[in-house]
Structure 1
Amino acid sequence: MGAALGAATLSFKFGSEKGGGDRRYLTQPRGPGTSWYVVAEVPRTLQTTLGKKRLMKSLETDDLRVARAKRWQALTVLKAQISECRATTSSAKDPLLLEAMAFREELLRAEPARRDDLMYEIADRAAEIDLTHGGTGARDDHAPFEFEQAPPVQQSRDFALLASGKATPADLYLERWLSSSTYSERTKADARTAMSQFKAWCEKVNQAFFIETTTDRIASNFRDEVFVQAKVHPKTANKKLSALRQHWEWLDRSFAVRPNPWMRKSLPKAKAHRVAPDGPDGPERPFTDDEVRTLLAGPADTDLANVMRIAALSGLRLDEIGQLRIADCADESFAVTRSKTAAGVRTVPIHSVLRPVVAELIGTRDPKSFLFPDLPDTGWDDNRTMAISKRFAYYRKKLGVDDKRVGARRSKVNFHSFRRWFATKAEDAGNRENVVGDIMGHESDLGITFGLYSHAQLKRLKKACVESVKLPA
Structure 2
Amino acid sequence: MAQKNPPYLQKRRRGWYAVLEIPKPLRRKFGDKARFVQSLKTDSLSEAERIKWSLIGEWKAQIEEARTGKQARRMEPFELAEKLTKGQEYDDPFTREVRQGEISDTAWELHEKDPKQADAFIKLVDGESVLTSKYIDDWLASAKNEQKTIDMKRSDVRRLAEKFEYTHEIDQRAIKRWVHDLQHGEQGLAANTLSRIMSACRGYWNYLNDAGLILRNDEPFKDVVRKPSKRSKSSYEDERLPFKETDLKALIEAADKKGDVMLRDLIVIAMWTGCRIEEIGMLRLPDISHESLDVTGAKSKAGNRQIPIHMQLQPVISRLSKESSDGFLLSGLGPNKYGNRSNAIGKRFGRLKKALGYDSRYVFHSIRKTVATELENLGVPENVAADILGHDKPTMTYGTYSGGASFAVKRDAIERLRFPKIVALGIA
**Same-fold call, TM > 0.5?**
yes
> Does 2:154 correspond to 1:192?
yes
> Does 2:294 correspond to 1:313?
no
Matched residue, 1:286: 242
Cα drift, residue 414 of structure 1: 0.4
Which of 335, 340, 343 is 1:377 aligned to? 335
> Does 2:263 correspond to 1:304?
yes
Alignment of 1:217-366 (within 5 A): 217-230=173-186, 231-255=188-212, 256-272=215-231, 275=233, 278-280=236-238, 283-299=239-255, 300=258, 301-363=260-322
Give the AA of the match of 1:440. L
Distance 1:416 1:239, change over 3 A: same
Alignment of 1:74-223 (within 5 A): 96=76, 97-128=78-109, 135=113, 152-202=114-164, 209-223=165-179
Cα drift, residue 399 of structure 1: 1.7
> Does 2:407 correspond to 1:459?
yes
Structure 1 residue runs without a partner (length 5+): 1-93, 136-151, 203-208, 403-410
SS of the residue 1:334 aligns to = strand
Cα drift, residue 278 of structure 1: 4.6
TM-score, with structure 1 as normaliser: 0.65
2:393 and 2:399 in contact (8 A); partners too: no
1:323 and 1:370 in contact (8 A); partners too: yes
Distance 1:333 1:113, change over 3 A: farther
TM-score, with structure 2 as normaliser: 0.71
**Structure 1 CA distance for aligned equivalents of residues 399 and 108 of structure 2:** 76
Distance 1:156 1:445, change over 3 A: closer
Deviations 1:325-373 (A, max 9, x none): 111112421111122221111100112222222222222868x832224
**Structure 1 CA distance for aligned equivalents of residues 290 and 401 of structure 2:** 24
Cα drift, residue 184 of structure 1: 2.6
| 290-299 or 226-235, larger mean C-alpha shift | 226-235
Cα drift, residue 306 of structure 1: 1.3
SS of the residue 1:363 aligns to = helix
Higher relative contact order (CA 8 A, sep 6+): 1
**Structure 2 CA distance for aligned equivalents of residues 396 and 424 of structure 1:** 20
| 335-344 or 113-122, larger mean C-alpha shift | 113-122
| 182-191 or 340-349, larger mean C-alpha shift | 182-191
Matched residue, 2:69: none
2:324 and 2:331 in contact (8 A); partners too: no
**Structure 1 CA distance for aligned equivalents of residues 181 and 398 of structure 2:** 51
2:324 and 2:330 in contact (8 A); partners too: no
| 160-169 or 427-436, larger mean C-alpha shift | 160-169
| 164-173 or 334-343, larger mean C-alpha shift | 164-173
2:392 and 2:399 in contact (8 A); partners too: no
SS of the residue 1:393 aligns to = helix
Matched residue, 1:417: 366
1:238 and 1:267 in contact (8 A); partners too: no
Distance 1:386 1:114, change over 3 A: farther
Matched residue, 1:30: none
**Structure 1 CA distance for aligned equivalents of residues 197 and 182 of structure 2:** 11
Cα drift, residue 439 of structure 1: 0.3
**Structure 2 CA distance for aligned equivalents of residues 270 and 188 of structure 1:** 31
Give the AA of the match of 1:245. R
> Percent same amino acid among aligned pairs?
26
Deviations 1:95-141 (A, max 9, x none): 6344532333333454454233223223334555566xxx3xxxxxx
| 434-443 or 257-266, larger mean C-alpha shift | 257-266
Give the AA of the match of 1:307. L
SS of the residue 1:335 aligns to = strand
**Structure 2 CA distance for aligned equivalents of residues 268 and 454 of structure 1:** 38
Cα drift, residue 448 of structure 1: 7.0
**Structure 2 CA distance for aligned equivalents of residues 447 and 386 of structure 1:** 36
SS of the residue 1:348 aligns to = strand
The count of aligned residue pairs is 342
Give the AA of the match of 1:254. A
Distance 1:244 1:449, change over 3 A: closer
Give the AA of the match of 2:153. A
Deviations 1:280-300 (A, max 9, x none): 4xx311112221111111135
2:84 and 2:102 in contact (8 A); partners too: no
**Structure 2 CA distance for aligned equivalents of residues 461 and 275 of structure 1:** 39
Matched residue, 2:383: 434
**Structure 2 CA distance for aligned equivalents of residues 470 and 321 of structure 1:** 21
| 158-167 or 181-190, larger mean C-alpha shift | 158-167
1:191 and 1:240 in contact (8 A); partners too: yes
**Structure 2 CA distance for aligned equivalents of residues 220 and 416 of structure 1:** 34
Distance 1:391 1:258, change over 3 A: farther
Distance 1:291 1:116, change over 3 A: farther
Distance 1:373 1:120, change over 3 A: farther
**Structure 2 CA distance for aligned equivalents of residues 317 and 417 of structure 1:** 10
SS of the residue 2:327 aligns to = coil
